Chain A
Amino acid sequence: MSDRKDSFWTLAELEEQAEAALSDAYPGQQNRQIREIPNLRTIRYYTTLGIIDRPADWNGRTALYGEKHLLQLVAIKKLQARGKTLSEIQEEIAGITTRELRNLADIPTQVSSTAKPRRREFWREAPAEVTPGASSSPALPPSQALRAITLAPGVTLLLATERTPGVNESNDIHKAAEPLLNTLSNLNLIQSNNGGQT
């Protein structure tokens, strides 16, 4: 797993890596707590607590993670499996060095503590202009009738047309949409149909 120095993982991939690492370490580990997939919000919360670094990079809106994150996640899960509270986990993990983290996680990685590049002269940067805020006063949304075709769970095609597509037309559209759905699935923007999730 450590030969991917140049590439990063999405959250789901990071989770798979962590699961794999843990099942190596604890064969047959069935603890529900550590099997639970952390969602983005949980990971962000861990970041505010200083126990998981901010994402290594971003691909659009998808956060990408690296080996250091894997170590942190595995360490957290191991401590959770020992019944530690989040506060106790923070006490053990916040402010430790990479070497100590590696000992705690105890999985083979090649993570080094190379410093990240920093943005230069940020203090000269001006903030963006303010866009007038949304009031919750009774501003009625404009209404427009659209045709909707659900391509897959979570993916809906909206057409600004008066005409409802027929059954055959609908099939054609679904067929044409397949490459797009595959791409979305590969990008992890939708759940794949053939069961990629744990």
Chain B
Amino acid sequence: MINTVEPMGQQELDSIQASETAPGLKTARGNLPLKAMDVDAGITSLLAQTKVRQTFVNNHDDPIEATYIFPLPDRAAVTSFKMKAADRVIDGQIKERGEARRDYEEALRTGHRASLAEEDRPDVFTMQVGNIMPGEQVEVELELNGPLSINSNEATYRFPLVVAPRYIPGERILGPSAGDGVVEDTKAVPDASRITPPVLLPGHPNPVALSLKVSIDPAGLKFQNVRSSLHTVLHEQGEDGCCVLNVEPGERLNRDFILRFDLSDDEIQTSLRVSEDGDESTFLLTIVPPSITTAPRPRDVVIMLDRSSSMSGWKMVAARRAAGRMIDTLNDQDRFQVYAFDSQYEKPTGFEDDFIEATDRNRFQVIEYLSQVDARGGTELAGPLLAAVSTLTEAERDKVLVLATDGQVGNEDQILRSIEFQAKQIRIYTLGIDRAVNQGFLNRLASVGGGSFEQVESEDRLDEVMDSFHRRIGTPALHSLELVDEGLDLLEDTIVPRRLPDLFEGVPVSIMGRCKRAGTCRVAARTASNEQWGVSLDSILTETSLATSWTRGHIRELEDSHGAGRYELEPEIVRVSLEHSVLSRFTAYVAIDTREIVNEGGEVEKIIQPVEFPSGWESPAELREKRYANAGETARCCSMSIAPMAGKVGFAVDPGRYKARVESADVGRHLRKGSSFGFAGLDLEPTSSAGKKLAEVWKEILPIEEGDLREKLARLLDALDDFVRALDTQGIMPLPNILEVRVRMLREFVNRTEPIKIGQASAWLQNISLTLTGLLPGETDSQPTEPEKNWWAWLKSIPFTLCDFG
């Protein structure tokens, strides 16, 4: 029986229209191996049990091995694996990862059908299915379970459906690579080639039939207002009064499935539940913080704003709004700072040095600054994050860091390792702004930082989140939480999370761990005014086993510690993983159909499944900019000659040679600072007159000598202003943007009262001339076009590029 149909949003209507008009619906067979994905989730008392079935077929004339890189919820434990081929069901076995891989490879070589499931990130997995014979179909099925995320009285079930393109920093590793993905392994991301599947261009016929069903068991759960955020769902009344939701057929795997519902107030209460499993027991401690009115403590708040190119479009708008609203909730006794980062980072103009007092005027100015922060460049998060946490040291203040980002980076371990120590001294919150967010990473970061993660998948959601977010970055109701064992016999090093969080009004927390028996536990903490607070809880025995949820949480903590440098933990991770049959980074599930040799000799064609371009991302052209900004790869190799000219200071800049070139079509919107650009249809005239003036001034102010430095720099500033404006009217903004920033900084420098030294002035000239050189087109493998040649010739005519001798 169908009760209601949720109306489609504009986004969905657009996507349907797009797919209807898409060309190429003719391919009857399709080359890609993944044909169907079935997700079946059952929610019982705030735990979700999910079955994921992937169907692979071979439409080719040769045996194949299919590889599929896919996401799963990061808190979920993968507890079982099956392969179904030729009407046989083979149960997978969990083994140490190296051993499982050897078994799999051996099975392939000897001609058996086999499959292998590995974890590459807490939420990114690789499935390999080998020796699929021509015309054959093989199904694999994973079972997972994990807790819903709870915020206030809202429960969220999220099932991710695509691994979005990620920024991969670092230098390439030589030698064989780790996987079949499209990006080379780097020293920062040694397994980059395992988490970077190829990406389908929009317009590709939907290659995978998706069915996604969620049933919510009303027994033991009072809920209302069930809603799906990004998918149209059909509500049905299932057996036993279950609420059943089905995603409409035909959806693409290009965004997270997000289901939310409201819990009644009495659903979550402070309690201690214990489930007995064999010799040991697992406990789940839920604490609903009491309402305690406290005087707010002064805070130091750092807001980190991701402005990398993958943030283009609504995500950038949402990130700016989030930052703005947070700044608005600060008051006079607080201080704050903003780091806007892409390949580099910057702080609000005029506030570069220290924390900003959160006065009305300063807040206003910084929000003004935010309005011009647009998306560009790569996601170099590690450097600025380390710089930011290093400033949060003031003992007398609450230290808070908020990261607004899509989290699309591949170097999660590197980042977490670099800030692990400092993160313990502060609180870190993450706002994941994306429809295919890197939740695994942002949850880890928030957990290490004792804060929390929120996904913002739409602008509407942003409003909902921000309405309560200020409370979280406020003064905690309770801090210094402690568990005092009164008969549970807690087992050492089993508490999840390791870092017990601070408690905020309206934000319940869950803590899990292992113990010997049911008993009593006292929770002790301190209020904001440092008074003792405590509550004793008697355990309630529960039928639902908590062991699997705890195991996954525990493994996650161990994996994080390992990632942070505690390499001796590997045997322990393998032990726990094998003992509880829960997949980890150091184990893998392997299934082999030993009863039949189907492919004598074991020769297969390796085919990797390309994945969808994430919904809500601007355009795949961004990929070119983002993913290959690898240091040393496309980095411009601009050879520069510096020589004395006309006396004391002068600069000669050889245009240099750099191979990378943005396609002509990218002029304008996709221009990046530091990248060269194409010149189709560029009108040089208006730029030329401003450029000529700049060239003249440049000539006139040289040589720079003691005495008139300020006046000369001021003249140069005027000429630069006109030049930037002329470029602006040409619509080639991002390059002038960096020029503009430099010019603004030069102005501040000139406006200072202290005397200018000749070294400083010449350094500024060099700085500006280097930036101007960034406007030069790169020499490419192909012949330069006419406009390119003209532009080049003209730029070279400016004196800073003149002195090219030899």
Contacts and interface: CB of A to CB of B under 8 A. Distances in A.
Q: Which of A54, A121, A143, A158 has the most CB of B within 10 A?
A: A143
A25 interface: no
Interface of A: 11-12, 36-42, 44-45, 47-50, 54, 58, 61, 85-88, 90-92, 94-100, 113, 115-138, 140-151, 153-158, 170, 174, 190, 197
Contact of B201 (A41, A86, A132, A137): A86
A142 to B, nearest CB: 7
Contacts of A121: 98
A83 B296 CA distance: 66
Contacts of B346: 135-137
A113 B60 CA distance: 14
Interface residues of B, number: 119
Nearest to B416: A127
Interface in B194-237: 194, 196-205
A25 B329 CA distance: 69
A131 B782 CA distance: 36
A126 B172 contact: no
A95 B200 CA distance: 11
Given A12-B781, A39-B781, A40-B781, 14 more contacts: A39-B659, A41-B662, A48-B198, A87-B203, A87-B204, A95-B31, A100-B31, A113-B606, A118-B177, A119-B177, A130-B383, A133-B383, A140-B760, A140-B763
B182 interface: yes
Interface stretch (B136-144, B266-274, B451-459, B626-634): B626-634
A170 B763 contact: no
Interface stretch (B75-83, B283-291, B531-539, B640-648): B640-648
Contacts of A41: 624, 628, 634, 659-663
A38 B660 CA distance: 11
A138 B201 contact: no
Contacts of B60: 96-97, 99-100
Contacts of B97: 123
A94 to B, nearest CB: 5
Nearest to A115: B606
Contact of A137 (B98, B343, B352, B767): B352
Nearest to A139: B767
Nearest to B780: A39
Contacts of A47: 182, 198
A187 B194 CA distance: 31
B749 A138 contact: yes
Given A39-B782, A133-B384, A87 B185 contact: no
B415 A130 contact: yes
A50 B184 CA distance: 14
B414 A127 contact: yes
21 contacts: A36-B782, A44-B624, A48-B182, A48-B198, A61-B632, A88-B23, A90-B610, A91-B205, A97-B60, A97-B64, A97-B605, A97-B607, A118-B177, A119-B185, A126-B190, A127-B187, A127-B414, A134-B383, A135-B345, A141-B763, A154-B656
B770 A141 contact: yes
Contacts of B639: 154-156
Contacts of A153: 657
Contacts of B413: 126-127
Given A39-B661, A86-B201, A118 B23 contact: no
A42 B187 CA distance: 24
A86 B200 CA distance: 10
B20 interface: no
Given A37-B781, A97-B61, A141-B767, A91 B643 contact: no
Please list the 7 inter-chain residue pairs (A to B) with the smallest Cβ-Cβ separation, ordered nearest first. A133-B383, A148-B641, A50-B198, A122-B178, A127-B414, A95-B31, A150-B806
A148 B418 contact: no
Contacts of A135: 344-347, 384, 387
A16 B182 CA distance: 24
A186 B208 CA distance: 47
Interface in B44-87: 60-62, 64
